[in-house]
Chains A and B, each alone.
Chain A
Amino acid sequence: MDTLMTGLTVFVLALFVGFEVITKVPPTLHTPLMSGSNAISGITLIGALIAAGSEQTWLSTLLGFTAVVFATINVVGGFLVTHRMLAMFQQGKKR
């Protein structure tokens, strides 16, 4: 129960931090916010790595492998496409 309480505490506090930080993002950047935050939610990747690497059963390894692929697409695609968009906003600035 201790880990559950710690987890819940962290969860609720992080939600508040999230609300505080995200409200300050201007509407101009809402699309990059979605793709960028989406990349961050690809953090499930670290769970996927352990599932794929612990090699307990062939089934868990297969599921782990699929999870690593999914989460990596999420992370790599998300951060990169966000970078592409944000760079365009900076070009607009320089011109």
Chain B
Amino acid sequence: MHSVLIDLSYLVASALFILGLRGLAHPRTAVRGNLLGALGMLLAVVVTLTDRRIVGYEIIAAGLVVGSLIGLALALKIQMTAMPQMVALLNGFGGGASVLVAGTAGAEASLSTGPPPIDVATATVASGIIGAVTFWGSLVAYGKLQGVISERSVHLPAHQILNASLAAVAIGFGVWEVAANSTGWIYVAVVVASSVLGVMLTLPIGGADMPVVIALLNSYSGLAAAATGFVLSNNVLIIAGSLVGASGIILTRIMCKAMNRSLPNVLFGVIPPGKTGPAHDDIYAGKVKSVSGEEVAILFETARRVVIVPGYGMAVAQAQYAVRDLANLLESRGIEVEFAIHPVAGRMPGHMNVLLAEANVPYEKLKEMDAVNPGFEQTDVVLVIGANEVVNPLARTDPNCPIAGMPILDVDKARTVVVIKRSLSPGFAGIPNPLFAADNTLMFFSDGKEAVLQLVAAVKAT
């Protein structure tokens, strides 16, 4: 095909990507948006296959078949609870592909047309560094989320100095590659140093900070694709890459804001062990009231408005279907039921919404923190299931606690709060939660799913 036609098709594909992302502005138009994006991709791939530089199709066909089969298997088999791992893995593959494409393109160019100009060489190095950090960082994130490696934060001695040295080595080799105007083993050195850097950057990050890291790696995978676009002088790669880069940056910022932490603090910060807030016993001793399912059902009888606050614990207990049944049951009794979703409720941005959507909870019922917070004073019963830090009032009151200033769901302002939890054990921040001992709080000590099933039975019996 004529190269003008190819370029025009790439332009159409770019427009389809933008339209596709715009479709995601509403759940109603989102499916179509995603299909438009896929159509853009198909168009770009098909016209590329007519490119004159392609002389054989066997290798391409084999790669497409193998990749499609793996992609299909992953996408169809993955559980919704495991979506963070899936996205981490996909980020990694994107980054890995960018490293390989940029490296091969650089090598091929220097074989056929001599050493690449300085801008192309620089882009190749950028692609190699960002792509390798994305690939290995994503694999570590995957391992942590999947439980293959410890989810805890792993710190080596002088970790920051080590990281800074690795970054310096990677960039140093990169500058050498550009200056020496050669590809080949220097590029390999850049990629190896960046790979170690990717692992080292992700290892110190604990499970609770994963939403930030996945969003950040999402952004990197886009930027790596954009850098590869500069290597190939191909605008559709640059456009698609920067769209994804922007998306990842926005999500990273939202996640950081939801935890009241700066990005450097998430990436490099260590919570000082002394900052643990008030002692466990001072807060809980003699003040915690425990209830049974029947007692909570009696509360529901007189309630007009109930807000359910799901946390990651709900997903771990696989309680979302039981929760949906409870919500439907309460609604059939004329009670207004809403779900309050904290931005970091799951293991990645929007994760809790997907889990509830899977259980057929209509998305209109899922309320964001800012929308639901003013309504807690008019709420009769708040049901907290498997959430802890996101409802801890210490974030508002104790400026010395590790979660100080983190925006929380103000459930303590409701008339009654029922917390379903196995025990009084602390969450990821390792601090006690005064909510559990508050006058208007009742603790329902049980496994999440078990408790909700009991509630459903008890409400049906009344």
A contact residues vs B (CB 8 Å cutoff): 1, 3-4, 6-7, 10-12, 14-15, 17-19, 21-57, 59-61, 63-93, 95
Contact of B235 (CB < 8 Å), options: A10, A34, A45, A51: A10
Interface centre among A34, A45, A50 (most CB of B within 10 A): A34
Known: A4-B119, A72-B67, A74-B90. A54 touches B251 (CB 8 A): no
CB distance from B354 to the nearest CB of A (A): 5
Determine whether the beta carbon of A43 is less than 8 Å from that of B24.
Answer: no
Determine whether the beta carbon of B70 is less than 8 Å from that of A41.
Answer: no
When chains A and B are docked, how far (Å) is the Cα of A71 from the Cα of B10? 17
Task: Mark contacts of B236-258 with chain A using CB atoms, 8 A cut-off: 1 yes-contact digit, 0 otherwise.
Answer: 11111111111110110010000
Known: A18-B242, A32-B30, A38-B94. A47 touches B101 (CB 8 A): yes
CB contact list, B1-56 vs A, under 8 A: 17-18, 20-22, 24-28, 30-31, 33-35, 37-38, 40-41, 44-45, 48-49, 51, 53-56
Q: Does B76 contact A (CB under 8 A)?
A: yes
Known: A14-B242, A67-B100. A28 touches B350 (CB 8 A): yes
Known: A15-B245, A37-B21, A92-B360. A43 touches B237 (CB 8 A): yes
Determine whether the beta carbon of A39 is less than 8 Å from that of B38.
Answer: yes
Interface centre among A35, A44, A83 (most CB of B within 10 A): A44
Determine whether the beta carbon of B18 is less than 8 Å from that of A35.
Answer: no
Determine whether the beta carbon of B30 is less than 8 Å from that of A89.
Answer: yes
Q: Does B66 contact A (CB under 8 A)?
A: yes
CB-nearest residue of chain A to B229 = A7
Contact of A93 (CB < 8 Å), options: B41, B218, B362: B362
When chains A and B are docked, how far (Å) is the Cα of A24 from the Cα of B30? 12
When chains A and B are docked, how far (Å) is the Cα of A22 from the Cα of B249? 10
Determine whether the beta carbon of A40 is less than 8 Å from that of B24.
Answer: no
CB-nearest residue of chain A to B255 = A30
When chains A and B are docked, how far (Å) is the Cα of A11 from the Cα of B30? 25
Q: Does B194 contact A (CB under 8 A)?
A: no
Task: Mark contacts of B45-79 with chain A using CB atoms, 8 A cut-off: 1 yes-contact digit, 0 otherwise.
Answer: 10011010111110110111011101110111010
- For the complex of A and B, list the 5 residue pairs with the smallest distance between their C-beta atoms, beginning with the closest: A72-B67, A18-B246, A68-B63, A30-B350, A76-B71
Chain A positions within 8 Å of B71 at CB level: 72-78, 80
Determine whether the beta carbon of A51 is less than 8 Å from that of B100.
Answer: yes
Chain B positions within 8 Å of A45 at CB level: 41, 44-45, 97
Determine whether the beta carbon of B45 is less than 8 Å from that of A46.
Answer: yes
When chains A and B are docked, how far (Å) is the Cα of A7 from the Cα of B120? 11
CB-nearest residue of chain B to A1 = B119
Determine whether the beta carbon of A40 is less than 8 Å from that of B53.
Answer: no
Chain A positions within 8 Å of B94 at CB level: 38, 41-42, 44, 70-71, 74
Grouping DSSP codes into helix (H, G, I), strand (E, B) and loop, the A interface class, with mixed when no group exceeds half, is helix
Chain B positions within 8 Å of A61 at CB level: 59
When chains A and B are docked, how far (Å) is the Cα of A7 from the Cα of B41? 20
Chain A positions within 8 Å of B70 at CB level: 69, 72-73, 77
Q: Does B341 contact A (CB under 8 A)?
A: yes
Task: Mark contacts of B206-242 with chain A using CB atoms, 8 A cut-off: 1 yes-contact digit, 0 otherwise.
Answer: 0000000011001001101110111111111111111
Q: Does B178 contact A (CB under 8 A)?
A: no
Q: Does B96 contact A (CB under 8 A)?
A: yes
Known: A19-B246, A28-B350, A68-B63. A46 touches B357 (CB 8 A): no
CB-nearest residue of chain B to A75 = B41
Determine whether the beta carbon of B368 is less than 8 Å from that of A27.
Answer: yes
When chains A and B are docked, how far (Å) is the Cα of A56 from the Cα of B240? 28
Contact of B87 (CB < 8 Å), options: A24, A28, A35: A35
CB distance from B91 to the nearest CB of A (A): 6
Q: Does B348 contact A (CB under 8 A)?
A: yes
Known: A68-B64, A77-B70. A93 touches B27 (CB 8 A): yes
Contact of B21 (CB < 8 Å), options: A21, A65, A72, A80: A21
Determine whether the beta carbon of A29 is less than 8 Å from that of B30.
Answer: yes
Chain A positions within 8 Å of B103 at CB level: 63
When chains A and B are docked, how far (Å) is the Cα of A80 from the Cα of B49? 22
Q: Does B86 contact A (CB under 8 A)?
A: yes
CB-nearest residue of chain A to B240 = A43
Determine whether the beta carbon of B67 is less than 8 Å from that of A76.
Answer: yes
Determine whether the beta carbon of A28 is less than 8 Å from that of B243.
Answer: no
CB contact list, B159-191 vs A, under 8 A: none
CB-nearest residue of chain B to A28 = B353
Determine whether the beta carbon of B218 is less than 8 Å from that of A85.
Answer: no
Determine whether the beta carbon of B250 is less than 8 Å from that of A54.
Answer: no
Known: A47-B228, A92-B361. A35 touches B90 (CB 8 A): yes
Determine whether the beta carbon of A88 is less than 8 Å from that of B354.
Answer: yes
